[in-house]
Amino acid sequence: MSAERTKIAVFGAGYVGLVTGACFAELGHEVVVRDILADRIEALGRGEVPIYEPGLDELLERNRERLSFTTEVARAIEGTEVVYVAVGTPPTYSGDADLSAVWTVIDELPRVQKRIVVVMKSTVPVGTGEKVRHRLDERGMENVGYVSNPEFTAEGTAVRDFLHPDRIVVGAFDDADGELVERLHAGIDAPVVRADVASAEMTKLAANAALMTRISFINEIANVCEATGADVVKVAEGIGLDRRIGPSFLRAGIGFGGSCFPKDSLALKQLAANSGYHFQLLNAVIEVNELQKRRVIGKLSEQLDRLRGTTVALLGLAFKPDTDDTREAPALVLAGRLLAEGANVRIWDPIARVDGLPGVTQVESVAGALAGADAAVLVTEWPELREIDWGALRSTMRRPVFVDGRNMLDPAEMRALGYAYDAIGRAAG
Ligand SMILES: NC(=O)c1ccc[n+]([C@@H]2O[C@H](COP(=O)([O-])OP(=O)(O)OC[C@H]3O[C@@H](n4cnc5c(N)ncnc54)[C@H](O)[C@@H]3O)[C@@H](O)[C@H]2O)c1
């Protein structure tokens, strides 16, 4: 397919919207990004990037002439052929996805003379496309097409994932609209899965559920390893080499967090329940993850006798490395539990900032976090933690208790340095 320059509007200048906009500009399209946050749009106009995502600032800078930013719907829509929706869909109190931002975008769309296609990038429940189609038809906007093109990128590698995806999923009501969206990706070498809208929507939810299931599976294997004297790192290596299983998402740890997995698992659970189906496996996956985050507290209690009055250093706040995103980060659950037990909590993170967490102190270095602490927990596997001189830091701690929540460090080396080192699913030394 040939690369044609298309004018694309992207609604939402968050993690997904900015990466989508920058990558489409990189592919040669003309992109206008619209957000309701005036500060964010002004900053982007000045060349400032409001989020941390590796490679994004270079991409935005390189494609400046094909990118513009606005808060105005009319400006975004002017002359546009395709409107990408990349607004947030957080959970409501009931666990369903909150689609209010999506509906705002749809309801604000003005009538257009020439056909435009709305493309859903936000993660939405199955059936959303059908509802949007109905709403557009009710308003007499039959010349607005609708396509589901879910996003599978991961924060931290989003630019690479967008430009080199495993697949592109396109679900359309109208074949021509689907072809237009497929053509936008010309220049990207990846299989395209063409589907109906409901199946495209479900593909996104199912992909996340599959990944979460693997994480909770290996975490449960880790817990059984601990009880039986096996080492989950070896076990994961052994099963990951099986071609039918594969190695990814088999790293045991303290559970998943982030802006997607927790909310998307809840949304799929609710979607199933609302449709009359009890999704037993997914319920277990969610529960295992909740318990996994709390197991660290048990490990600390065992070593410290009581947590009240102790100082615990959390190494890492972001829900994973290479992002500043702290939404649903396991560190926040740990901090909350530790504070409830009466411990003092310090957090170190190279990028993410503690915001509105009373009782938690942010420190600027790993050394600062460990000095005088009774225990340290490695929460996020930031690469710089591999470069730390752990030997030198050990003597600065009041008690050298170390829980490696990501199985990142070498147990034998850490124990040889004098740490009371524990990890996840690895026999205690
Ligand atoms: N973050 C990820 O890695 C990821 C990956 C795949 C899918 N998703 C999905 O993509 C969607 C966006 O996620 P995100 O992490 O980018 O969210 P985000 O919160 O970082 O960004 C959403 C942006 O939309 C803006 N917005 C709200 N209402 C708007 C409106 N009416 N018009 C224009 N902008 C508006 C917000 O101000 C915000 O800047 C969600 O549905 C999410 O589940 C996210």
Local confidence pLDDT in tens for the 429 residues of the chain: 446 899 999 999 999 999 999 999 999 999 999 999 999 999 999 999 999 999 999 999 999 999 999 999 999 999 999 999 999 999 999 888 999 999 999 999 999 999 999 999 999 999 999 999 999 999 999 999 999 999 999 999 999 999 999 999 999 999 999 999 999 999 999 999 999 999 999 999 999 999 999 999 999 999 999 999 999 999 999 999 999 999 999 999 999 999 899 999 999 999 999 999 999 999 999 999 999 999 999 999 999 999 999 999 999 999 999 999 999 999 999 999 999 999 999 999 999 999 878 889 999 999 999 999 999 999 999 999 999 999 999 999 999 999 999 999 999 999 999 999 999 999 766
Q: Whose CA is nearest to atom 15 of ligand 1?
A: 15
Q: For residue 158, what pLDDT is reported?
A: 97
Ligand 1 midpoint to CA 421 (Å): 39
Atom of ligand 1 nearest to the CA of 16: 16
Atom of ligand 1 nearest to the CA of 121: 10
Atom of ligand 1 nearest to the CA of 259: 1
Ligand 1 midpoint to CA 220 (Å): 32
Q: Whose CA is nearest to atom 33 of ligand 1?
A: 35
Residues with CB under 6 A from ligand 1: 11-17, 34-37, 40, 86-89, 101, 104-105, 121-123, 151, 153, 155, 259-260
Q: Where does 284-386 show beta strands of DSSP type E?
A: 311-315, 344-348, 360-363, 375-378
| Catalytic hit among 67, 200, 260, 352 | 260
Atom of ligand 1 nearest to the CA of 260: 43
Q: For residue 429, what pLDDT is reported?
A: 62
Atom of ligand 1 nearest to the CA of 17: 16
Of 41, 75, 87, 102, which is best to mutate to test ligand 1, by the most ligand atoms within 8 angstroms of its C-beta? Answer: 87
This model's pTM is above 0.75: yes
Q: Whose CA is nearest to atom 12 of ligand 1?
A: 88
Q: Which of 162, 16, 8, 157 is nearest to 87 (CA)?
A: 16
Residues 6+ apart with CB under 8 A from 328: 257, 258, 259, 261, 262, 263, 319
Residue position matching structure tokens 């706040």: 317
Query: Which DSSP state fits 256?
Result: -
Note whether 309 and 426 are within 8 A (CB): no
Of 10, 11, 16, 325, which is best to mutate to test ligand 1, by the most ligand atoms within 8 angstroms of its C-beta? Answer: 16
Q: For residue 358, what pLDDT is reported?
A: 84
Q: Whose CA is nearest to atom 43 of ligand 1?
A: 123
User: What six digits make up the tokens of 366?
Assistant: 């790993």
Ligand 1 midpoint to CA 16 (Å): 6
Q: For residue 1, what pLDDT is reported?
A: 44
Ligand 1 midpoint to CA 66 (Å): 21
Strands ordered across the beta sheet of 375-378: 360-363, 344-348, 311-315, 375-378, 401-404, 420-422
Catalytic annotation on 260?
yes
User: What six digits make up the tokens of 196?
Assistant: 């109906």
Ligand 1 midpoint to CA 88 (Å): 3
Ligand 1 midpoint to CA 252 (Å): 29
